[in-house]
Structure 1
Amino acid sequence: MNEKIALITGANSGMGLATTIEIANTGATVIMLCRNKQRGETALKTAKQQSGSENIELMICDLGSLESIRTFVSLFKEKYNKLDILINNAGVMSLKRELTSDGFEMQLGINHLGHFLLTNLLLEHLKNAKEARIINVSSGAHKIGKIDLQDPFLTKRYGLMKGYAQSKLANILFTKELSKKLKNTNITVNALHPGAVATNIGVNRKTGFGKNLIKLLKPFFLSPEEGASTAVYLATSDEVKDTTGEYFYKKKIALVSKIAEDNELSKTLWTWSEKQVFLTPKSDAKL
């Protein structure tokens, strides 16, 4: 792993930070992708202390902003000529309907569309690696999810779990479709359910609302380290180096909902997503 470069989104806390530390422990160079510079710098210090590695770098990107994602990718490409591991870990839950800077419903905008654009823009660098892996952190909540492309941003009837489950289902459909598009390449793509983990995912990004609830629930949930174990396994284990298009739970392939297996839906979602993030053949590297 010494020559490998890993990029982890949402790396400043919870599973993202735990994943950073574990991957850094393997000797890989790790880029922590964080939205907030101050929190990111604190997490970077923690990661270096706990891993004993100096090969960890902080880079800033807001997955709720298409402009921020494009700016980050440009900076990343100036500095690195390849990417071996991409862990799309960042996620949000929103009690009330909120919008990203581009007008997307927050959960679908960050959990799916932000990672969709980021991944596509980094494909060229992933192909430059000898063997590359993309890991998408989804959730068992996908099983109650539906994709409503008539009202994807839930303008008519919003619900926290409705929006969250939709975004996590989108993660799996994206994984399935991308694995097909990358067939016969050096890149594998897999999704996972980390289990019920006590993280800051439900804490409001602006106000911090929800922190006290997380503290109360912590004793009943997995630790971030336990939650990160499957992502680390998918990123580093030789056992899964040729596995692609699957959904994992506790380091084993797990069943997904019937909707998550819908090939036509995955194609439709892909086309819709391309339009939303303005992914065009002229300006971006295509599959």
Structure 2
Amino acid sequence: MNKTALVTGGTDGIGREVAKGLLEKGYQVVIMGRNEAKAHDFMQSLGKLSSNLTFIQADLSLMKEVKRAVALFKEQYSSLEILVHSAGVIKTKRELTSEGLEVTWATDYLSRFYLTELLLTHLNVFPHARIINIAASGTKNGKIHFDDLIQGRKIGGMRGLGQAQYANDVFTVELARRLNATSINCYALNPGAVDTNIRRELPPLIIRVMSVFFRSSVLTAKDGARAPLYLALSKDLKNTRVGLFNRMKKLPISKDRSNRDTGKKLWDVSKKMIDQIIDN
């Protein structure tokens, strides 16, 4: 059985470096993203390794696109060992997708929930398959504004980013709880401050300030990929069923992130949002 990995956002930044690292370890790698030109450039840079790379074009902010992309994946592959969610956006203002969802919530959280759900049968084929959510795990403050998720009016921009990142932690813990009877491992990861194009939506002044004051702590995309590659490949984590990480340091899971009621509510709301879109 071939070793297969799927990396969203694999045409740029951390996702691209993670995909390259997995290719170098002998994996068949599928990348999902919007930009076909970037995917082509990536393949051109890989030389012989490109024969093991497949690109599926999809706008992961749209749930119908997620469903279509997974269907294409399943036509070619019968199993999946590693799923890395790297696709993400930063918006300074509230924006909606054509499906009526806040863009950051749809891209940075809900697409991950849906794509994972659709691929669970493929992941369960491999002992100790791994699901990795790249977000801002372990940040102290977090809140999911359940009253503003469906046809909401307020939450977006940077507040929306914080909400989506916090939701990834809650989702990761709840997913592991629901997969307790399987051997699938579920991780969420804060890779640290990484110099990638995801910051392109920030105001130029903020970007300049970050470049000056945080220069010594900002990682390159290659360095930022070391932590997700560690979570994906390390034999030491084989029996670590669930974990929140800051780079390669395992964090304690706070009570709010492991709260069963919050986890169930997030799961149920996520299912409802997706069903409303897919059934229309």
Give the TM-score taking structure 1 as reference length: 0.87
Structure 1 residues 55, 261: CA separation in 2 closer, same or farther (over 3 Å shift)?
A: same
Indicate the residue corresponding to 1:43 in structure 2.
42
How many angstroms apart in 2 are the aligned matches of 1:91 and 1:214?
Answer: 21
Matching residue within 228, 232, 243 for 2:240: 243
Is the 1:130–1:186 contact (alpha carbons within 8 Å) kept by the matching residues of 2? yes
Q: CA deviation at 1:259?
A: 2.5
Which region of structure 1 is more displaced relative to structure 2, 6-15 or 138-147? 138-147
Indicate the residue corresponding to 2:259 in structure 1.
262
2:180 is the alignment partner of 1:183? yes
Indicate the residue corresponding to 1:34 in structure 2.
33
Structure 1 residues 156, 76: CA separation in 2 closer, same or farther (over 3 Å shift)?
A: closer
**Residues 75-224 of structure 1: pairs in structure 2 closer than 5 A:** 75-140=72-137, 142-152=139-149, 155-158=152-155, 160-204=157-201, 213=207, 217=211, 219-220=215-216, 221-224=218-221
How many angstroms apart in 2 are the aligned matches of 1:22 and 1:219?
Answer: 25
Q: Secondary structure at the match of 2:242?
A: coil
- Percent identity of equivalent pairs: 34
Q: Secondary structure at the match of 1:172?
A: helix
Q: CA deviation at 1:62?
A: 1.3
Q: Secondary structure at the match of 2:130?
A: strand
Q: Secondary structure at the match of 1:253?
A: strand
Q: Deviations over 1:169-209 (max 9, x none)?
A: 110111001101111213111111101111111324xxx98
Which region of structure 1 is more displaced relative to structure 2, 259-268 or 168-177? 259-268
User: Which runs of 5 or more structure 2 residues have no equivalent in the other structure?
Assistant: none
Q: CA deviation at 1:161?
A: 2.6
Indicate the residue corresponding to 1:23 in structure 2.
22
Is the 1:3–1:29 contact (alpha carbons within 8 Å) kept by the matching residues of 2? yes
User: Which runs of 5 or more structure 1 residues have no equivalent in the other structure?
Assistant: none
Indicate the residue corresponding to 2:4 in structure 1.
5
How many angstroms apart in 2 are the aligned matches of 1:261 and 1:80?
Answer: 33
- State the AA in 2 paired with 1:104: L
**Residues 54-65 of structure 1: pairs in structure 2 closer than 5 A:** 54-65=51-62
- State the AA in 1 paired with 2:44: K
- State the AA in 2 paired with 1:7: L
Structure 1 residues 191, 222: CA separation in 2 closer, same or farther (over 3 Å shift)?
A: same
RMSD in angstroms over aligned alpha carbons? 2.7
How many angstroms apart in 2 are the aligned matches of 1:182 and 1:279?
Answer: 25
Is the 1:32–1:44 contact (alpha carbons within 8 Å) kept by the matching residues of 2? no
How many angstroms apart in 2 are the aligned matches of 1:106 and 1:141?
Answer: 23
Q: CA deviation at 1:274?
A: 0.6
How many angstroms apart in 2 are the aligned matches of 1:86 and 1:203?
Answer: 25
Q: CA deviation at 1:279?
A: 8.7
- State the AA in 2 paired with 1:80: Y
How many angstroms apart in 2 are the aligned matches of 1:132 and 1:279?
Answer: 30
How many angstroms apart in 2 are the aligned matches of 1:105 and 1:235?
Answer: 30
Q: Deviations over 1:216-243 (max 9, x none)?
A: 7284411112211111011111100111
Q: CA deviation at 1:88?
A: 0.8
Indicate the residue corresponding to 1:229 in structure 2.
226
Structure 1 residues 222, 3: CA separation in 2 closer, same or farther (over 3 Å shift)?
A: same
